[in-house]
Structure 1
Amino acid sequence: MSPLLASIFLLGLCLANALNFTTVYEWDKFDFIWPSGADTSNRQRNFNEENVYLRYMAVFGERLFLSLSMDSGIPANLVWLPTSGTSAAPPKLAPFPSWNMQKQDYCDTIQLAKGIEVDPEGRLWVLDDGRGSCSSKLWIFNLLNNDTTERVHQFPRKVVSSSFDKRWLHDIVLDKTQDDQLAYIVNLKSEDIVVYSRTMDKSWLVKAPGGDWFSLALSPDREARQLYLIKYSSNGLYSVPVSELKNEGGIADVKFIGGWSDRPYRMLFDSANILYAAFYEQSYASKWNVSKPFHEQRFHEVGTHDDFWPFTFALDTNGSLWMTERNETGGVKKHKLLKAAVGAKPYLFGTPTGK
């Protein structure tokens, strides 16, 4: 096959697997719903919208939650948007759960949200890596009860270092069992998987040898459920049986699955066993049907991106994949919120609606 024909064939494969995204919102620049009070002018004066980078996403009901990279001048780390609006203008970012919970260097507030997930009971789980002298925590908010703080778990020193330069919590997934809700968390500075039990309000470590683990995803609620892992230093995809994560101090059997085209920084499962991945500095995002042999397929691609992490995504219970995109067209930088029907729910929310 000639190089030209090969290129046409590969393009055809990409187009065949592309999702039909529609644009929900588009921003030339972001703004916040600013608080009233004495510190409003300082927050606004120091704010630089060029430093707004979207990192993690979760969707529940009519709200979409986003964590932001805490670059200079960013006044809030965790925000929310409505999933739809009546105004032609894109919505402003609203702090979650309030401005009072966004105070930096105040350890009773959210310092650095590094992963967010929603469970079927309407709880928002926020992995907080802390900053400065503030230790890492796991926050659980009840979205069905006025966003109240249901629990704050501070990780013990034997589980996560109290020194900020000796830890790097990065991502979180949730696992619901018959009698518990568990969270699995990766720490780039160790080979351990951090496990948290909501029933016991306890966290512990399980060794996962061989990795500077950085990103993770949990397969749907089926027999032999697997935790999928990515290293920071490579494109290799690995898996661990979740049954091996229940034993405190245990050693998990890490299995190599295959190699992505590049290093993913974000992965996500839907209820139909599709694994989605976004890659550092790449203008495309891919997927793999885990029920079949490893085969990466691109489902979205842009011409020019403008971010180290150009995309982030989440699923809703109506069978839609939401995705943010930061790109550059004709020298103009834009953020987009996109939406596509995939016919499957988030990995914790049951069987697909049809695919």
Structure 2
Amino acid sequence: MNVWSSHSSAMSPLFSAIFLLGLCLANAFNFTTVYEWDKFDFISNGQIKPIFDPNYVYLRYMAVYGERLFLSLDKNPGIPATLVWLPTSGTSTSPPKLAPFPSWHLHKKDNCDSIQFAKGMEIDPEGRLWVLDQGSDDCPSKIWIFNLLNNKIERVHQFPNTVVSNSYSKRYLRDIVLDKTPDDYLAYIAEYYSEHIIVYNRETDKSWSVKTPGRKWFSLALSPNSEARQLYLIRYISNELYSVSVSELKNEGGSAAVKLIGKWTEYNPYRMLIDGANVLYVAFWYENYLSKWNISEPFREQRFHQVIFP
């Protein structure tokens, strides 16, 4: 599956994210265009459309469940909802409009019972959508967990100030990956403004931070092997790839020793994903190609896929 906007001249974060997720889901590399847009639009609820500005739609993170594609949008002027969804198939030939998830009711600005700024997201095998919420000047950051079988909120976890700053200018939530444990799930979260990794335990509904002194993280990827599982990390405006054992992330309030794995050719990695065959894929800002590396082997970057735009 491939969904992209027709106006980009280089591989956009949207295309990169969708391509990477497609690798994991489809386990095949023959992609076709499902929809193309000259510009995006929102469905109307009778009040939102007059303030919508299509020039400020920037799609960042995504997840797929069934025939629904979930996307997070940058919080820009004229953007009425930052968590939206699209159908992945349909009978109409025209591209679908963005629909708020789960409804307009949960996207009230400066209402702390609503989603303020959706960021990274992931879906677990039980059909739950996990969404990071950066919050706003007045609202704290959170994790929203939705049951996609009924589109209901299953849980909302507000990060305590000791884990994520209550000050909007001192926090920057980015990415999330899920680790299936014998008891439940752990979420590992990148928060770019602080030198630590955030961990959330769904079973206990508790979050904590693990320090990584001197390093701030931008994107994450989790190895598929449950034995000696590794979390891979990249920084912003850096070509360095690191890893840390997830066993060290259970040390609440402690520190974790991160290990330098190798260096990419480019200095602007944006997203990562590891498939079931232990291959790590990485997408870069402003580049029209992807790179890969088999984590079972010594580090060696390989050019994987390049998109040639007309």
With the shorter chain as reference, the TM-score category is 0.7 to 0.9
Q: What is residue 89 of structure 2 aligned with on the other side? A: 84
Offset, 1:271 = 1.6
* 1:296 Cα deviation after fit: 2.2
Counterpart Cα distance in 1 of 2:302 and 2:288? 14
Q: What residue is the counterpart of 1:51 in the other structure?
A: 56
For residues 157-190 of structure 1, the C-alpha deviation after alignment (integer angstroms, 9 at most, x for no partner) is 1111000001111111110110121001111111
2:218 aligns to what SS in structure 1? strand
Q: CA deviation at 1:152?
A: 0.4
Contact 1:209/1:254 (CA < 8 Å) preserved in 2? Answer: no
| Other-structure match for 1:107 | 112
Distance in 2 between residues matched to 1:152 and 1:72, nearest whole Å: 26
| Structure 1 gaps, min length 5 | 1-17, 305-328, 330-355
Q: Is the 8 A contact 2:237 2:269 kept in 1?
A: no
Match of 2:159 in 1: 155
Match of 1:35 among 26, 45, 64: 45
1:346 corresponds to: none
Q: Which has the larger radius of gyration?
A: 1
After TM superposition, give the deviation of residue 238 of structure 1 in Å. 0.1
Output the CA distance in 1 between the equivalents of 2:225 and 2:64. Answer: 19
Aligned-pair distance for 1:150?
Answer: 0.5
- Amino acid in the other structure paired with 2:121: I
Give the 3-state SS of the residue equivalent to 1:50 in structure 2. Answer: helix
Partners of 2:132 and 2:176 within 8 A in 1: yes
Residue 248, structure 1, aligned to residue 252, structure 2: yes
5 Å-filtered alignment, 1:278-317, equals 278-303=283-308
Q: Give CA-to-partner distance per residue, 1:124-157, whole Å, 9 cap, x none.
A: 000001111110000000001x111000000001
Give the deviation of 1:106 after TM superposition: 1.1
Q: Give the whole-Å Cα distance in 1 for the aligned partners of 2:110 and 2:204.
A: 29
Of Structure 1 and Structure 2, which has the larger fraction of its residues in strand?
A: 1
* Maintained 8 Å contact 2:292/2:301: yes
Retained in 2: the 8 A contact 1:52–1:68? yes
SS of alignment partner, residue 290 of structure 2: strand
Change in 2 beyond 3 A, CA 1:197/1:189: same
> Partner of 1:72 in structure 2?
77
Letter in 2 for 1:100: H
Q: Structure 2, unaligned stretches of length 5 or more?
A: 1-27
194, 199, 208: which is aligned to 2:198?
194
The one-letter code sitting in structure 1 at the alignment partner of 2:179 is: D
Per-residue CA deviations over 1:186-230 (Å, capped at 9, x if unaligned) read 111111111000010000111123312111111114311000011
* 55-64 or 20-29, larger mean C-alpha shift: 20-29
Q: C-alpha displacement at 1:56, in angstroms?
A: 0.2
- The 8 Å contact of residues 191 and 209 in structure 1, kept in 2 or not, is answered as yes
CA contact (8 A) 2:123 2:130 kept: yes
Aligned twin of 1:315: none
Q: In structure 1, what residue type is equivalent to 2:224?
A: P
State the shift of 1:21 in Å.
2.0
Alpha-carbon distance between aligned partners in 2 of 1:111 and 1:248, rounded to the nearest angstrom: 28
Give the Å deviation of 1:295: 2.2
Which residue does the alignment assign to 2:130? Answer: 125
Q: Say whether 1:63 aligns with 2:73.
A: no
Aligned to 2:105, what secondary structure does the other structure show? Answer: helix
Distance (Å, rounded) in 1 between the aligned partners of 2:161 and 2:112:
16
CA shift, 1:300, in A, is: 2.9
Q: Report the alpha carbon displacement of residue 274 of structure 1 after superposing the two structures with TM.
A: 1.5
Moved more, 175-184 or 18-27: 18-27
Runs of 4+ in 1 over 3 A off after TM superposition: none
Are 1:203 and 2:207 matched, yes or no?
A: yes
Partner amino acid, structure 1, of 2:69: L
1:230 match: 234
Q: Percent identity?
A: 68
Partner Cα distance (1:269, 1:69) in 2: 25
Who is 1:266 aligned against? 271
Equivalent residues of 1:19, 1:300 under 8 A apart: no
Q: CA RMSD in A?
A: 1.4
2:122, 2:178 within 8 Å by CA — same for their partners in 1?
yes
Which whole-Å CA distance do the structure 2 matches of 1:101 and 1:222 have between them?
Answer: 36
Match of 1:169 in 2: 173
TM-score with structure 1 length normalisation?
0.77
State the match for 2:33 in structure 1.
23
C-alpha contact (below 8 Å) 1:63/1:81 kept by paired residues: yes
Aligned to 1:22, the other structure's residue is in SS state: coil
| TM-superposition CA deviations, 1:225-256 (whole Å, max 9, x none) | 00001111411000000011111012111000
Please give the per-residue CA displacement for 1:11-66, whole angstroms capped at 9, x wherever unaligned. xxxxxxx9432111111111111114xxx2xx322222121111001011111100
